[in-house]
Structure formats: structure tokens, C-alpha cells
């Protein structure tokens, strides 16, 4: 049976082919777009399970594509992994703020790419497991099956990673977790990430939740916890 559908938005034909070949060999169904505009059209039409998005694209760049996809109802729940030659922390943080869920810096090995793809898809599959029960905590309602978060019955627009962080902490109220432990849970072990990147995710998550964001506490010198 066909596995998950992955959309590659990348203008470099050599990199396109490298990614397409390795994903196809691993059993994934693959669609390719060479521009940001075509990528948005493909995302709407194909409804992929995951998007691999280059930042440096002709015309509309990858960050604008990310912002557009994250703002639209039909595409905002699609996980996005940014592919970038820009490894500076500021560029990575900007991508996360735009709604990306993960990033891979170029050059990368096919094994690393496949490992990251598997982690994101596995996490998505686990969260959408019909067996997971919704969580109702005060005004906050978390529904894993629909990957939906509501505050006072109003749906919140969370990225893949923001949802994963909130769901993880809410399942363990009162427990304090380090940034590393949170990353291991959401992305898998040995995932390279800076403390700054996690802090940005937390700031964005609290902002989107509004007053309900106060349920996430910073434990100075340690990490974060969900209030009991």
C-alpha cells in the first residue's frame, strides 16, 4: 500500500532529484514543485502529510510560503520541515515563528533526511490515534485525534510542534521537563536544537493561547511545566 504523501518545494533540480529518489525508495509518495507559488497550489490540491520546503526560492521565498500555508484553514495542519543553507540561529528562529515545525540545514545526508521525516510523521500518526482521549483542563480543550486545541470553544491555530509541546506537557501536569526532554518527546532523541529555538516555540504557544497560556510555567534554570 502507498505510504504517506510528501511535497517537496525546491528549485534546485539536483536536490529535488536527490530527495525524491530517497523518499521514493523508502516507500513514500512524492510530489515536487519548483517555486513557492506552485508549492502552495500543490499543497492545496494534494493535501500532503508533510512538506519539505526550501527557504531560498525564486519569487516567493520559503518563509513567505510557510507563512501563507500556516494561515490557511486547508493547509495549516500540514507539518513543514524547512530545508536551508542558512544555519544561523536567527534564520532558524524566523522559520519557526513563521509556522515551520522542523528544519534541516544543507548539506544533509539522505539518512538524516529520512530520519527526520519518519520522526515527524510518527509523531503526527501518534497524535491522531483515535485511541487517545481528549483532554479538558479548565478553558483548554485538546483533541489529539483532530489535532485541535480550543480555548473557551474557540479553535487555536497551532503548528505541529506547538501542538506536540502543549499535548505533552498537559498529559503530565505538575511535572517539570527540561528543554532537552521536551525536544526528545516531540522530535525524537539526538535532535539538534538550541535552547533559543525552544524558548521561541514557548513564547509563540503562550501568545496564541492568550490567558490560557499561563498554564505553562517557566521553571528558572530547569525548563517548563504545565500547572496542576
pLDDT-above-90 percentage for the chain: 42
Per-residue pLDDT reduced to its tens digit, 204-224: 899 999 999 999 999 988 999
Q: What is the mean pLDDT of residues 63-79?
A: 87
The gap from C-alpha 34 to its chain's centroid, in whole angstroms, comes to 22
More confident residue, 146 or 180: 180
Per-residue pLDDT reduced to its tens digit, 83-124: 888 666 677 777 777 778 778 888 888 988 898 888 788 766
H or E stretch including 62? Answer: helix 62-71
Per-residue pLDDT reduced to its tens digit, 13-38: 999 999 999 999 999 999 999 999 99
Terminal Cα distance for the chain, rounded: 44
Rg of the chain taking only CA atoms, in angstroms:
17
Take residue 71 and report the three cell numbers written for it: 494561515
More confident residue, 144 or 57: 57
Q: In order of start, what are the domains of the chain with their CATH numbers?
A: 5-127 (3.40.50.2300), 135-226 (1.10.10.10)
b/e for 99-138, b at 16 or more Cβ within 10 A?
bbbbbbbeeeeeeebbebbebbbebbeebeeeeeeebeee
Res 49: pLDDT: 93
pLDDT over 50 at 1, yes or no: no
Minimal CA–CA distance to 182: which of 127, 123, 227, 224?
Answer: 224
Q: What is the mean pLDDT of residues 157-175?
A: 87
Minimal CA–CA distance to 86: which of 104, 61, 100, 69?
Answer: 104
- Non-local (6+) Cβ contacts of 105 within 8 A are 84, 85, 86, 87
Take residue 90 and report the three cell numbers written for it: 536567527
Amino acid at each position: 500500500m502507498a505510504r504517506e504523501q510528501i511535497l517537496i518545494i525546491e528549485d534546485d533540480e539536483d536536490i529535488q532529484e536527490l530527495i525524491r529518489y530517497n523518499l521514493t525508495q523508502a516507500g513514500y509518495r512524492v510530489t515536487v514543485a519548483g517555486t513557492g507559488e506552485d508549492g502552495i497550489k500543490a499543497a492545496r490540491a494534494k493535501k500532503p502529510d508533510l512538506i519539505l520546503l526550501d527557504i531560498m526560492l525564486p519569487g516567493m521565498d520559503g518563509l513567505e510560503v510557510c507563512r501563507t500555508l500556516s494561515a490557511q484553514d486547508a493547509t495549516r495542519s500540514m507539518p513543514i520541515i524547512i530545508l536551508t543553507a542558512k544555519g544561523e540561529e536567527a534564520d532558524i528562529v524566523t522559520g519557526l515563528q513563521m509556522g515551520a515545525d522542523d528544519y534541516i540545514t544543507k548539506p544533509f545526508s539522505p539518512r538524516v533526511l529520512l530520519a527526520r521525516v519518519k520522526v515527524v510523521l510518527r509523531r503526527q500518526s501518534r497524535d491522531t490515534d483515535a485511541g487517545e482521549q481528549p483532554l479538558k483542563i479548565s478553558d483548554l480543550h485538546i483533541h489529539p485525534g483532530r489535532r485541535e486545541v480550543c480555548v473557551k470553544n474557540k479553535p487555536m491555530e497551532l503548528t505541529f510542534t506547538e501542538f506536540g509541546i502543549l499535548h505533552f506537557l498537559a498529559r503530565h501536569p505538575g511535572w517539570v521537563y527540561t528543554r532537552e526532554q521536551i525536544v526528545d518527546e516531540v522530535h525524537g532523541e539526538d535532535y539538534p536544537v538550541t535552547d533559543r529555538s525552544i524558548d521561541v516555540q514557548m513564547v509563540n504557544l503562550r501568545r496564541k493561547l492568550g490567558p490560557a497560556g499561563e498554564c505553562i510555567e517557566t521553571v528558572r534554570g530547569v525548563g517548563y511545566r504545565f500547572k496542576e
